[in-house]
Chain A
Amino acid sequence: MADVSARPRLAGRSPGEVVIDRIWRFFCSVRAAVYEIVVLTLIVLLGTLRGSSVPQMLADNVPFTKPIVTRWYAYDFFHSLPFAFILTLLSVAITICTINRAPGIWRTIAHPTVPTSWGFLRGAETSARLAAPADGPALTDQLTSALRRQRYRVLLAQKGEETHLYADKNRYAKLGTFPFHLALILILVGGIVGARYGFRDQQFIVPEGSTRAVGHGTDLSIKLDRFIDSYYQNGVAQSYQSNLVLLKDGQPVKTGSITVNHPMTYHNVVIYQSSFGDAASFRITDSAGHVLYDDSTPLGLYHAVYNPNAPAGVITLPQGYQISVIAPDDNPGNVPTNDPIQIQSGQMYVEVHKLGDTTPSTTRFPGKIINQGTTANVNGLNVEFLRERRYTLLQVANNPGIPIFILAAFLLVGGLAVTFYFPHRRIRGIIAASDTGAVAQLVPLAKRDWSGQRDFQRLLDELERTLGLSVTRQAGRATGAARLETAEADA
């Protein structure tokens, strides 16, 4: 007779409950998770190929794909809505799946089911029959001691004359999945925290002898005392070193040298050596002799319109002037006609424009060439070219997400190691009296798990050796190695 007190599955539940249940089941579904990871993998692949020449090769060989390839290169996959969406979906799935699995996993660890059935034991892929002349309780004690010596936890339950046995080891390793999946979420959280609350200035330029403010809400500024670059005999760069002074509110708080891979850290701000270039130092005064500018400007961030090999720099004065500086052509292979101004080594070409002046420049070269150590009047300003210098290109960053990332890294690797290298091994069995004493039927819970089956066989070998029991193995299928060993023995 049917149990009328049992609630049918969906009847009596509100539509809202049904929807929530369906959503919950969706996020708990491993199949859905696989599809989500596949979509994420495909987006990562497309984004990776975007940074390669592969799409271009495709366009070159299959012309009709050119429009697709153009859009492919233009689309920033890793900052796109679909990418953010799939990451969010996976994060939610991980969270819900973890909450869903946790009780079951804890039950397996803390309160496993001990009683089993003869039907289950007979239907197992692999089983073993251990016979002993001793009675049931004695055999139970022998098996329990032997299993515990092999680091198994042994739980027993009495059912009539039979003793039901459950043994397992590495049960806590099942928890390893939780720190691993938590780590994945923490990595995303760390990235969001870093992007939201940190900063990264990738083009922080400081000419030698100059000081530049870091900004970004800090009171820091960086002075470059000296830049030193060295090279191997074959011309390959050996080292880029910047000797810096870090100032807070104008006062030095830290000095030191930085090279690539050896940044300077002050509280949460980290200063990295990135690159370097050439700069030019100028002193600019107005007609009254007031100093409007006494600093260095980096060259190479711009180039002359007429010659891409002529590095250039720009100085913007608060008094409403913009000064363009053009350095000599740095490509000795260029023909002289590429450089119509004919700037020689040790010279700079300087133009001065008033900001807001809308008069079109009909004069091709309104500026002047200035020799190092000399002064020229350019459009009303006295421009003295002091000397050539170097500038250092730094990256200045503050990433509050780093501690979260480091924690996630430990959890990720630790969780994986525990999960993979401490597999949960389980055995069920029944010990009962027999005509000749007692018999134990044991099966491993290792369906289609070759390693689990092998570990069970090794355990049986150990039981056979240490307890002197008669062991009859009832394998569902021989292992490949065993078949091969047989083949080798026959050969």
Chain B
Amino acid sequence: MNGLVQLSFYCFTAASISLAAAAVCYVAYAVGRVRLRRTVLATSAGTTVTTSDAEFAPGSVSAGRFGTLLAWFGFVFAGLSVLTRIIAAGHGPSNMYEFSLVFVFFISGIYLAFERMYHVKQLGAIVLPITVGMAAYVWYLPASMREVDPLNPALQNQPLLTIHVSLAILAYATFAVSFAAAVLYLVASRREIAWLPSADLLDDVGYRAVTLGFPLLGLVIILGSIWAYRAWGAYWSWDPKETAALFTWLVYGVYLHTRTLRGWRGTRSAVILLLGFGAVLFTYYGNYFFGGLHAYGGVK
């Protein structure tokens, strides 16, 4: 069993390296190329005048293709890491180490799905660095958390544990894509950059991601309530983790309503998506701050 735990970590290491390389490629692809052109002109007086101007061009197509390839490698290795970890542990994710492994896997997967749907690689310049950041967090966690610990009685509820936690992380991963779309939207709507996707397309990506994440998070809250009813006798206890998830859900509820409001759709909606992802991170890392019944993350 120890061998599987180690294998899981090696797969995660491979995923981290691939995803970091993919992030670099995507950034190179999205930022584009800047070429300085200098012209030397001779004047009639016999002197010379030098002028220079910057020429912007799309990033290398190869960088985008390598980014996608490396992202796929990262996704596959992250998936293997999660799979071997589940086999070793005998249960779904139950602490921050395991949550974060799954987060890395899901973010990369959701991103690749959106890239395929919309043929937009520039999103990778935002999403992949987030994924790498999450991978860095896994490295930051104490090595002791890589060991498999048995579940305490409160967490012994399959399949609810696996479904509830997995759906939560999947929802957060889709919100990461909406965040990326919002960032690019704010850039695209302010600067005329020919090789960036149109603002309308980015607005649609953000909206589609939320239409995936919002029902998922709603389902997470419902399943969590059902589990709370089975375990603690009440489906809602105003536990900080519960209310943090509700807070996140409400932020995206605000976003969905503002899309129908004249004057709110566009920039303001995009800003709400940025705030929404902030709410996601607040909820995800809340174990560092919250007391209450959800103190299972293994962190203080």
Residues of chain A having any CB pair with chain B under 8 Å: 30-31, 33-34, 37-38, 40-41, 44-45, 47-48, 51-54, 78, 191, 200, 202, 232, 234, 236-240, 259-263, 270, 272-274, 395-397, 399, 402, 405, 409, 412-413, 416-417, 420-421, 448-451, 477-481, 483-485, 487-488, 491
Contacts and interface: CB of A to CB of B under 8 A. Distances in A.
B157 interface: yes
Name which of B152, B201, B218, B258 has the most chain A CB atoms within 10 A of its CB: B201
Contact of A488 (B61, B150, B196): B61
Q: Which 6 A-B pairs have the closest CB atoms?
A: A480-B197, A51-B240, A450-B204, A480-B201, A480-B198, A395-B233
Interface in B225-254: 225-227, 229-236, 238-240, 243-244, 246-247, 250-251, 253-254
B272 to A, nearest CB: 10
B233 A51 contact: no
Nearest to A419: B211
A412 B220 CA distance: 12
B195 interface: yes
Interface stretch (B2-10, B18-26, B43-51, B285-293): B285-293
Contact of A47 (B156, B202, B243, B257): B243
Contacts of B251: 41
A31 B257 CA distance: 8
A234 B151 CA distance: 12
Given A51-B239, A478-B198, A485 B119 contact: yes
Interface of B: 58, 60-61, 118-120, 149-150, 152-154, 156-157, 194-198, 200-204, 208, 211-212, 214-215, 218-219, 222, 225-227, 229-236, 238-240, 243-244, 246-247, 250-251, 253-254, 257-258, 260-261, 264-265, 286, 289-292
Contacts of A480: 120, 196-198, 200-202
Contact of A263 (B154, B202, B230, B253): B230
B247 A45 contact: yes
Given A259-B156, A272-B233, 10 more contacts: A30-B257, A48-B290, A51-B292, A234-B150, A261-B231, A272-B231, A272-B232, A483-B194, A483-B195, A487-B58
A62 B218 CA distance: 36
Contacts of B222: 409, 412-413
Nearest to B158: A261
B154 A260 contact: yes
23 contacts: A30-B257, A38-B254, A41-B247, A44-B250, A51-B292, A78-B238, A202-B233, A238-B150, A259-B153, A260-B153, A260-B156, A262-B230, A263-B230, A399-B235, A413-B222, A416-B214, A416-B215, A420-B211, A420-B214, A448-B203, A451-B204, A487-B194, A488-B61
Contacts of B227: 261
A491 B65 CA distance: 13
A480 B199 CA distance: 8
Contacts of A41: 247, 250-251, 254
Nearest to B161: A261
Q: Which of B194, B225, B243, B286 has the most CB of A within 10 A?
A: B243
A47 B244 CA distance: 9
Contacts of B238: 47, 51, 78
Nearest to B257: A34
Contacts of B58: 487, 491
A200 B236 CA distance: 12
Contacts of A53: 289
A80 to B, nearest CB: 12
Contacts of A417: 215
A393 B119 CA distance: 57
Nearest to A54: B289
A395 B194 contact: no
Contacts of A402: 229, 235
Contacts of A78: 238, 243
Contacts of A40: 250
Contacts of A44: 243, 246-247, 250
Contacts of A413: 215, 218-219, 222
A402 B253 CA distance: 24
Contacts of A451: 204, 208
A445 to B, nearest CB: 15
Contact of A449 (B204, B218, B236): B204
Contacts of A416: 214-215, 218
A399 B60 CA distance: 62
Contacts of A491: 58, 60-61
Nearest to A395: B233
Contacts of B290: 48, 51-52
Contact of A37 (B195, B208, B239, B257): B257
Nearest to A38: B254
B261 A34 contact: yes
A33 B233 contact: no
